[in-house]
Amino acid sequence: MSENISMKTLFHPSLYQFDQAQPSYWEATAGASGLAAEALSGAQSCDVAIIGGGYTGLSAALHLARDYNIDVRLLEAGHIGWGASGRNGGFCTTGATKVSLKAQLAKFGVEQTRSFYQSQAEAVNLVRTLGAEESIDFLLQGDCEFIVADSDAHFTELLKNAELEQTLLGVDVTIHSKDEFREIGYDSPHQHGAIAIRPSFALHPLRYARGLAAAAERRGAQIHTHSEVLHWHKQDDGRHLLETAAGSLRAKQVILTGNGFMPEHLHPGVRGRPLPVQSAIVVTQPMSESELVQKGWHTQSPAINSKHMFFYYRLLSDGRFMLGGRADHIGNPAGAEATYDELKRSIADMWPQFADLEYTHQWRGLVCFALNLRPSIGRMPEDKSIYFAYGYHGNGVNSATWSGRELARWLAGKTPGNHHLPMHLPAIVRGRPPRFPLAFLRRQYLRAGLSFYKLRDRIGF
């Protein structure tokens, strides 16, 4: 099934070094992994094989082993959390689609849109519950997500959306005027009021990923790190054969994950469908509580601003400030340096009181968009023994965890039907996204999109 097209050709090769960890704050502070995981070796077999050890794969492995006693093995190319799950901003918040609320209502109707919004809130709560059930100390912070208006016009727009979300969809939204938000959040020349969405919080993403992996192992799943799947064959007896450098795994069913790092070269059913997009993060030196008060920062909850090319930012548990945003469409180290500098300039512009802080960490990774701008959960129409979930659009702490659990339930036969679409799930997440036309041009499409949205932000449209 493999062919000579590599996902590594899409972005710069420096983004795909499975033997190297990003120099992130999370890697520096996660502590010992405590996992038994070893690389796959020799000829092995299992019922369900999972490709990818991020939240999607780990949650699927944990739920398959713990709730259904299914014989499952997970193959991860790097270490656990090597991908986005170990290097994200730690926002456990809602919002896995870029389809506007109006467009969702027009295409899917009120009931399906409500069901999607409810599933997103349920997904946030699932992370909290898993933390408690599996004793994962992921350093929870805050109790909502703030969306902060960058202008008075944006605040008016936020209020309109908030009203729709409250009345039609039952979302828990609180509105804060500029003056109120200065007291409970922060002040900035770019602060024009905010809304707070619950349930949401912030966590340590790599501690969470490792906690999921340890729980999956404890519950009977076999986790193999440093086990990149290099080849995938379907055998005459209907089994899948996954080959790594040091071993092979035969399985009745496969769950394919990977999101922004999707190994699309392994299967034609996924090729050309994900759109990986770079996101980058910078972190400052720690600040004491009194320094934070003096600088007018009052919240532990994560926040984003209201621009199209928005920033996401939060305090870390030791008083550091973290900010992330979109990076370039190439992915080379020089572009990364330029992005980090731009993020630091943006911090000084948005919060002049932070302008003199030193920076201690910076890193980047890939999130996953899709042509239909929605997350995707399904089975390959051409081979229903292959399940997948990806395309969380920069979200995923909650959505990938929830999607992994939903795949486990579906695979274990706990949900009705033998369709390739998960008809029991909200319509917005069902099935495969379309292939990009001339998929090799995806980075050029991305460049055009980034320029378009930057321009819209500049002219305030």
Ligand X SMILES: Cc1cc2nc3c(=O)[nH]c(=O)nc-3n(C[C@H](O)[C@H](O)[C@H](O)COP(=O)(O)OP(=O)(O)OC[C@H]3O[C@@H](n4cnc5c(N)ncnc54)[C@H](O)[C@@H]3O)c2cc1C
Q: Are 136 and 130 in contact (CB under 8 A)?
A: yes
Enter the tokens of residue 57. 């794969």
Q: Does 397 bind ligand X (CB under 6 A)?
A: yes
- For ligand X, the closer of residues 76 and 150 by Cβ is 76
- For ligand X, the closer of residues 192 and 406 by Cβ is 406
Q: Are 30 and 204 in contact (CB under 8 A)?
A: yes
Of 150, 165, 217, 228, which one interacts with ligand X (CB under 6 A)? 228
| Residues ≥6 apart with Cβ < 8 Å to 349 | 190
Q: Does 394 bind ligand X (CB under 6 A)?
A: yes
Residues paired with 325 in a beta bridge: 280
In the window 143-202, what residues touch ligand X (CB under 6 A)? none
Of 142, 185, 193, 258, which one interacts with ligand X (CB under 6 A)? 258
Q: Does 76 bind ligand X (CB under 6 A)?
A: yes
Q: Does 140 bind ligand X (CB under 6 A)?
A: no
- For ligand X, the closer of residues 19 and 183 by Cβ is 19
Enter the tokens of residue 145. 């997500």
- Nearest alpha-carbon partner for 363 in 393, 324, 395: 324
Look at residue 336 and give its three-state secondary structure.
helix
The one-letter amino acid code at 324 reads G
Of 91, 138, 311, 340, which one interacts with ligand X (CB under 6 A)? 91
Separation CA 53–CA 227 (nearest Å): 10
- For ligand X, the closer of residues 257 and 372 by Cβ is 257
Separation CA 337–CA 343 (nearest Å): 10
Separation CA 202–CA 304 (nearest Å): 12
In the window 401-420, what residues touch ligand X (CB under 6 A)? none
* HSE-CB for 249 with a 13 A CA cutoff: 30
What is the phi-psi region of residue 195: left when phi exceeds 0, alpha when psi lies from -120 to 50, beta otherwise? beta
The one-letter amino acid code at 297 reads W
Q: Are strands 376-380 and 274-284 parallel, antiparallel or unpaired?
A: unpaired
Of 131, 324, 378, 426, which one interacts with ligand X (CB under 6 A)? 324
Q: Does 216 bind ligand X (CB under 6 A)?
A: no
Stretch that binds ligand X, among 71-79, 128-136, 158-166, 429-437 (CB under 6 A): 71-79
Q: Are 302 and 312 in contact (CB under 8 A)?
A: yes
Of 49, 56, 104, 142, which one interacts with ligand X (CB under 6 A)? 56
DSSP state of 413: T
- For ligand X, the closer of residues 195 and 303 by Cβ is 303
Enter the tokens of residue 448. 């055009």
Question: Cβ 181 to ligand X, closest distance in Å?
Answer: 21
Stretch that binds ligand X, among 135-143, 153-161, 352-360, 395-403 (CB under 6 A): 395-403
Of 323, 395, 429, 446, which one interacts with ligand X (CB under 6 A)? 395
Question: Cβ 42 to ligand X, closest distance in Å?
Answer: 17
Kindly provide the residue ranges of all beta strands, DSSP E only, lying in 289-440, ordered along the sequence. Answer: 303-305, 312-315, 321-326, 359-370, 376-380, 383-390
Q: Does 322 bind ligand X (CB under 6 A)?
A: no
Separation CA 342–CA 323 (nearest Å): 11
- For ligand X, the closer of residues 155 and 201 by Cβ is 201
Q: Does 261 bind ligand X (CB under 6 A)?
A: yes
Separation CA 333–CA 319 (nearest Å): 28
Each residue 427-456 as x (binds ligand X by CB under 6 A) or -, in order, gives ------------------------------
Phi, psi of 435 (to 5 degrees): -75, 140
Question: Cβ 92 to ligand X, closest distance in Å?
Answer: 7
Question: Cβ 108 to ligand X, closest distance in Å?
Answer: 22
Residues paired with 305 in a beta bridge: 148
Of 10, 256, 367, 380, which one interacts with ligand X (CB under 6 A)? 367
Stretch that binds ligand X, among 103-111, 215-223, 345-353, 388-396 (CB under 6 A): 388-396
Of 15, 84, 194, 408, which one interacts with ligand X (CB under 6 A)? 84
Separation CA 132–CA 123 (nearest Å): 14
Separation CA 432–CA 376 (nearest Å): 6
Q: What angle do CA 201, 163, 161 make, to 5 degrees?
A: 75
- Number of residues in contact with ligand X under rule CB under 6 A: 44
Question: Cβ 78 to ligand X, closest distance in Å?
Answer: 5
Question: Cβ 442 to ligand X, closest distance in Å?
Answer: 17
Q: Does 281 bind ligand X (CB under 6 A)?
A: yes
- For ligand X, the closer of residues 35 and 168 by Cβ is 35
Residues in contact with ligand X by the rule CB under 6 A: 18, 51-57, 75-78, 82-85, 87-91, 228-229, 257-261, 263, 279, 281, 312, 324, 364-367, 390, 392, 394-397, 400
